[in-house]
Structure formats: structure tokens, C-alpha cells
Amino acid sequence: MLDLVEPAPVPPPVTATAPRWTLAAAYALLQQPLNDLLYQAHQVHRQNFNANEVQLSTLLNIKSGGCPEDCSYCPQSARYETGLESTALMNVVDVMAAATKAKNAGATRFCMGAAWRSPKDREVEQVAQLVSAVKGLGLETCVTLGMLKPKQANRLKTAGLDYYNHNLDTSPEHYGKVITTRTYNDRLETLEAVREAGVKVCCGGIVGLGESPQDRASLLCQLANLPEPPESVPINQLVRVEGTPLADEAPVDCFEVIRTIAAARIMMPKAFVRLSAGRRELGDAGQALAYFAGANSIFYGEQLLTTPNPPENEDRLLFAKLGIRAMAGTT
């Protein structure tokens, strides 16, 4: 008979005036034996959420391509030849049709993305009209538009915006190897403007940008040690797109994605941890493990901004196999 051994304790986050999580503590968390990490993450998950419910979000690209940034992973950058066609901002009729379809399919949050570095005030006003229309359907609203000024964040709040997505992508140490046209501090300032406007923060990162495990620990520290941690934390796996500088980056091991999700759940126990881009590459078994590790939100629908996503029928089949149900709306 095998002896049952409790998992080894993980160094706790420090308190008082020091950061809530040190880099050493976060790295130790990530490097535990996988079973120990999953055991701890699943316990934290059950303490804060129903372990058999997943929140469904749908993402719509409302303005594609032509972005002046040089994010090395992004096919929407005007600097790279990826075959992506640039489009103008969608009109309210088409956005409402997409939002209605998403709601009827079970989504409770509708996210809209536009490829801007920093939108002009008139563009923010146009998006505000879209936010108000979608909010009127009873859906949670989220947008990602690039860098925002405080008054722009306030305008979106008055329109009914619930969440603003602005990812940190990677650690401060690795960031300059991925992006040079926008600083890490630029991103933090946008998060501050959004938070001060009273909008919830959706902020996460990407696994597979050539970063080290220490970089992943550092990213999670940045997120968890914000003045108020994000309410929504998307964990993406790099989707390599031909024409981008990271197109030939070696695929990351799926267990590194699972470890990152589990650590995010432990370090930000109240957040929705979203299994985002790259979900198809995990397969059913990898996704099941991710849900056990604490992922409780997904993008639902066959298309993300520019990359494919599992079809809705595949998600429904997997949910049925796992005994998972869609979370009811909270608006």
C-alpha cells in the first residue's frame, strides 16, 4: 500500500509593506511537482468558485489590422506581412447582430477588440455607442483598444463598460525582446486609468514568447501585486502566425501553460482565469487539466481576433464529458 504524502508547503507571500508576492515565492510555486501545484490550485479554486462552472465570453474584432505597434506575435501590426486585411470600425447594426448571436449561444460577456495603439477621442466615442448597445442586451461588456487616457476611460465607463482588457504580455525583464514601441509603464498607466474610472480590469499574458520560467513568475507577480489584482486574467498560449517575428518560435510545452494557470489561480484567487488563445493546441485532455487547475473562463466561438478557436459544438461536447456547465450571467 502506498503512503499518502501531503504536498510540500510553498513559501507564502510576504505581507505588510512588501509586495504580496515576491519573485522567489512565485517561482517556487511554479516549480513545484505538478501534482502538488494542481492540488493546491484546485483547493483554492473550490474555495472561491464552483469548480464545475465556466464563464463564456465571445470576442469580436470590431476593427482589424493597421496597428503601428511592433508586437512580435501580432498579425495586426502594419509592420508585418501576414495577409491580414485591414478593416474599418464595424457599425452598431453588425455588432448588435454578433452580440445577440453570442448571447443566444450562451455567452455572458461580449468583448470587442480594435487594433489601435491609442484611440482618438472620436474613436472612443464611436466605441462608447457600441458598448451602450451591447450593454442594453444584458451582456457584460469588455473592450480592448490600446492605451487609454483617463478621460477616455471615464467615457467608456459612462457608456456601460464593465471590463477593459490590456495585457502586460510578459515580464518587465523580457518585454523589450517582444515589443519596443510601447513601454511596460505605458501599459501600467492605462491599467491605472481604467481602474480609477471604476472599470474592472482584464489583464494577463502570453506563454511561449521565448520567455523563461522566471519570466512567467515575474509576470504573475506584476499582475498579483497591482494595487488591486485584475478581476479577469487571460492566459494565452502563443499562436504562431506566418509573417510575424515569432512565427518560428519553438512551441511551448502544454504543461507550462497548465503551471501558469494553476499559479495564477493561487496568486489571484478571486479572479476569473481565462483559458484564451492557443486553446485548440491544448486538446481536450489539456483543457480538462486547465479547468482542474483553476481556469474558469473561455472565449466561446470559432474565431478570436485573428486566430481560430475551438468550434462551439466541440466545447459543448467537452463540457458534457467533464460535467461542466456554463456560468449564468452576472449583469
| Catalytic sites, residue numbers | 67, 71, 74, 111, 142, 202, 274
Q: How far apart (Å, rounded) are the C-alpha atoms in residues 124 and 145?
A: 9
Which of these, 109, 55, 37, 51, lies nearest to 267 by C-alpha position? 37
Residue with cell 507550462: 256
- Quick check: 197 and 222 in contact, CB under 8 A? no
Residues 6+ apart with CB under 8 A from 152: 119, 121, 124, 193
Question: How far is 304 from 213, CA to CA, in rounded Å?
Answer: 26
Tell me the C-alpha distance between 219 and 213, whole Å.
10
Rounded to whole angstroms, the Cα distance separating 281 from 258 reads 12
Per-residue burial over 222-241, b if 16 or more Cβ lie within 10 Å, else e, is bbbbbeebbbbbbbbbbbbb
